[in-house]
Structure 1
Amino acid sequence: MKKLSIDHPFFCCMGNLGDMILLNLIFLLTCIPVITIGTAQTALYRVMLRRVRKESSYPVKEYLEAFKEEWKQGTASWLPFLVIGGVLIFDVMYLGREWSIWGVGTGVLISVWCIFASYVFPVQAQFENTTKNIWRNAAFMAVRHFPCTILIVFVNLIPVLCFLAGGAVMQLTAPIYLTAGFSLAARVNAELFGKIFKKCM
């Protein structure tokens, strides 16, 4: 019987899946303090962007190194999102299902929040720059590549939509995201960001 090589597609697939699970676990653990979510996203995207370029060999080690390096700037970038997001959630809870100009305005602000939150940390993971310029570049890229932006935001919102759906949908998807969902979503988006960043470099 012919022996399978470690380069066989099956073993490569299992190895990649194992990496996704480990990265997902460490990502969730580093998000627990909440204030570290921005840094965790930056670190995750740095690893995923390297995997897109086939430059990643030790993803967990690279994640920890990136988390340490991006701690200061990642926190500075995340704090405005945390504060504004909290205010927007309060508005949604306060408004309920009421349809008004205020409600429409809140919906627009939530959309802008989601777009910026989807771009700022991948941009920070790819480019060394000031926080101000990262936000400016993120806005420019999001508008210039708007079709990709819609898809990226949708991928990021899938767990939120599943949570809001509740019931069987939430019960089915929760184990997936607790196991490898967030890292897989970042991997999908990294493919899109890789193409966007290539045009900007």
Structure 2
Amino acid sequence: MDNKFFTVMGRVADLIMLNVVFLICCLPIVTIGASLTALHYVTLKMARNEESYIIRSFFKSFKQNFKQATVINLIMLAVAAILYMDLRIVGNIDGTMSQVLYIVFFAFGILYMMVFLYIYPVLAKFYNSIKNTFRNAFLMAIRHLPYTVLMAVITLLPAGVFFIKSFRIQSMAIMLLCMFGFALEAFINGHFLVKIFDNYIPADADTQDTDLQNENSAETSSAENDHTV
């Protein structure tokens, strides 16, 4: 019982430390992509019970993936901005056309969310070009739709804090979110992502490159960004 307690408390301490480092590294804004990638790199290892030094692993991934993560983040931000502006424009249109456009942009919003859930974990786990990273993130999101829906719920759940009417409860929830919420969310999703990624990692993953046009059909190669798809 004591061992379980200390194991759980140790894990909580790791998540708090990881969350704080993640938030600090997000402050320059331009580093958000690299920070998200590093966050998932560590939590994927935690989900496999492979992590050793949290901070060292975080900054290893942060540095290694900085360039690609930054480009990907800028693309994601640009797409989000375009969707937002289009929705504002549609809001000024009357009639049936506005309803049709709302449905279209809502569908695009869902696709955006699906890619967002996978893009940084895929970058953290696999070596690949930016184009193929986007492609693989999209294909994995479609192929593993039940997991995608589950992870979307877990990811969006913290947003519910802004609908809490009690200021005291809302403040406490925000404090907990800032303390370890983002890391906890990534850690929980990491358990699902590990199961998904295992479909794309061959047994001799250390040396082999894999074209996922085979049994699972998504282009991935394997070697520890860990691997390449």
TM over 0.5: yes
Name the structure 1 match of 2:184.
Answer: 184
Q: C-alpha distance in 1, partners of 2:7/2:13?
A: 10
Higher helix share: 1
Cα drift, residue 104 of structure 1: 1.5
Name the structure 1 match of 2:68.
Answer: 73
Q: How does 1:19-30 map to 2 (within 5 A)?
A: 19-30=14-25
Q: How does 1:108-127 map to 2 (within 5 A)?
A: 108-127=107-126
Name the structure 1 match of 2:175.
Answer: 175
User: Which segment drifts farther, 177-186 or 102-111?
Assistant: 102-111
Cα drift, residue 160 of structure 1: 2.6
**What is the percentage of aligned positions where both structures have the same residue?**
32
Q: 1:32 aligns with which of 27, 30, 41?
A: 27
Task: Give the secondary-structure state (helix, strand or coil) at the position aligned to 1:11.
Answer: helix
Q: Could you tell me the TM-score, scaled by structure 2's length?
A: 0.78
> Could you list the runs of 5+ residues in structure 2 that have no partner in the other structure?
202-229
Q: C-alpha distance in 1, partners of 2:122/2:82?
A: 25
- Cα deviation, 1:141-185, whole Å, max 9, x if unaligned, reads 11110000001111111223433x253364342112101010000
Q: Could you tell me the TM-score, scaled by structure 1's length?
A: 0.89
Residue type of the alignment partner of 1:135: F
Q: C-alpha distance in 2, partners of 1:78/1:58?
A: 26
Q: C-alpha distance in 1, partners of 2:150/2:71?
A: 26
Q: Are 2:145 and 1:146 aligned?
A: yes
Q: Are 2:135 and 1:136 aligned?
A: yes
Residue type of the alignment partner of 1:74: A
Q: C-alpha distance in 2, partners of 1:171/1:103?
A: 33
Task: Give the secondary-structure state (helix, strand or coil) at the position aligned to 2:127.
Answer: coil
Aligned residues: 194
Task: Give the secondary-structure state (helix, strand or coil) at the position aligned to 1:115.
Answer: helix
Q: How does 1:53-68 map to 2 (within 5 A)?
A: 53-68=48-63
> Could you list the runs of 5+ residues in structure 1 that have no partner in the other structure?
none
RMSD: 2.0
Relative distance call for 1:75 and 1:21 in structure 2 (3 A) is same
